[in-house]
Amino acid sequence: MRKGWMMCLFLFSYGWAQAQEKTGKTDMQELIQEQFQFAANQYKVLSRQVPPDRMPKTYYADRNEVETSDTKWWCSGFYPGALLYIYEHTGDTATLQEANRRLAILEKEKHYTGNHDLGFMMYCSFGNAYRLTRNPAYKRTIDTAAASLATRYRPGAGVIQSWNASRKWQGPVIIDNMMNLELLYWVSDNGGDKKYRQIALTHADNTLKNHFRPDYSSYHVIDYNLQTGQVLKKVTAQGAADSSAWSRGQSWGLYGYTMMYRFSRNKRYLRHARNIAVFMLHHPNMPGDLVPYWDFDAPGIPNTYRDASAAAVMASALLELGRYVRGKERKTYVAAAEKIIRSLSSPAYRARLGENGGFLLMHSTGALPLKSEVDVPLTYADYYYLEALHRYKNWYL
């Protein structure tokens, strides 16, 4: 008799949990579709404010002005990439036309060697364009961009140099640079030179060795002697302090090592990504909505700025990391990513149609110590938010 009751209770709880999961999924499906549709409309507002030879950067509400950049700016690939995600999920042909116009002005930067950002610039844009169309011209652009990025590899130190030498540094490498390895590895794995893969692995190994602290937080900038690989200093450019955990930097690291595991299946990278995730998710200064302050150690928390871009990158990374682990751990990462998506999609962060200069998300922080782009929209916050929506829909619904 007792066993019968236990069985009934079990079946009831199981059925209830299943129903809850189904409701949650339908709910997310609706939310995601709504966000893509909103994005298609909102980006038409943005596109009207960007001259044909420029890319959007941010928006200043006090001046009601969209700031734009040339195509050499490190963010120039995010706008076409975002348009392509929107087109993919809405079929909106005007969005595709706008994406094609922007790809056309960006294409020349495949030869650019002035910084390490070619991955951001050319893979977020042309990588998505090739994924969607298989147009061989896009592949040629990506291949050339990889060759340009590889010119910044410094074999003596085993790293790709991020910024050029200045009075401040000799061979600076920033944690963000992990993101550019995707371009190199992808090209190697898709018929390109195998040396790009080796460069990516060596850079990732040296970054793991030199950028991280025992608690798996990372420094922003490591200055190397590029001939010997000696670490000259460990500092910050955009964080609160040399020893602090600049939030977007933590997200770049999380995304970077998860992506490197995707290509290499090297368990060390996976372990490292999981440790970074634990550092971020369990940090005592992580707010309840999982949108980090601009630095985990920022002075004045909770009375300081958030960084929606750090949250968007983190959500997208956690969704990929969730695919490489199982059970409770997988659920934790996906639930955290879902929470971020819900937070960013709420009126607290997502703009209203026609406002925010036509950008999707409010409240990102570019470089607070430089008093640059504080509490503003940013193209990369929008891009990684859309990528997180895309990943959630493709992998978890």
Of 56 and 366, CB closest to ligand GLY = 366
Considering only residues 298 through 327, tell me which ones interact with ligand GLY, judged by CB under 6 A: none
Considering only residues 185 through 204, tell me which ones interact with ligand GLY, judged by CB under 6 A: none
Q: Does 248 bind ligand GLY (CB under 6 A)?
A: yes
Alpha-carbon gap, residue 55 to 205, rounded angstroms? 34
Q: What are the catalytic residues?
A: 117, 176
DSSP string computed for 44-112:
HHHHTTS-TT-EEEEEETTTTEEEEE-TTSTTTTHHHHHHHHHHHHH--HHHHHHHHHHHHHHGGGGG-
Of 95 and 236, CB closest to ligand GLY = 236
Of 176 and 338, CB closest to ligand GLY = 176
Of 198 and 304, CB closest to ligand GLY = 304
3-state secondary structure labels for all residues of 180-236: HHHHHHHHHHCCCCHHHHHHHHHHHHHHHHHHECCCCCECCEEEECCCCCCEEEEEC
Alpha-carbon gap, residue 270 to 233, rounded angstroms? 27
Angle, helices 2-47 vs 379-396, to 10°: value is 140
Q: Does 176 bind ligand GLY (CB under 6 A)?
A: yes
Binding string, residues 96-135; x marks residues near ligand GLY by CB under 6 A: ----------------------------------------
Binding string, residues 49-88; x marks residues near ligand GLY by CB under 6 A: -------------------------x--------------
The pair of structure tokens assigned to 80 is 């076409």
Considering only residues 323 through 382, tell me which ones interact with ligand GLY, judged by CB under 6 A: 366
Which residue's C-beta sits nearest to ligand GLY? 176
Nearest one of 322, 154, 344, 338 to 254, comparing CA atoms: 322
Residues that contact ligand GLY, how many (by CB under 6 A): 5
Binding footprint of ligand GLY on the chain (CB under 6 A): 74, 176, 238, 248, 366
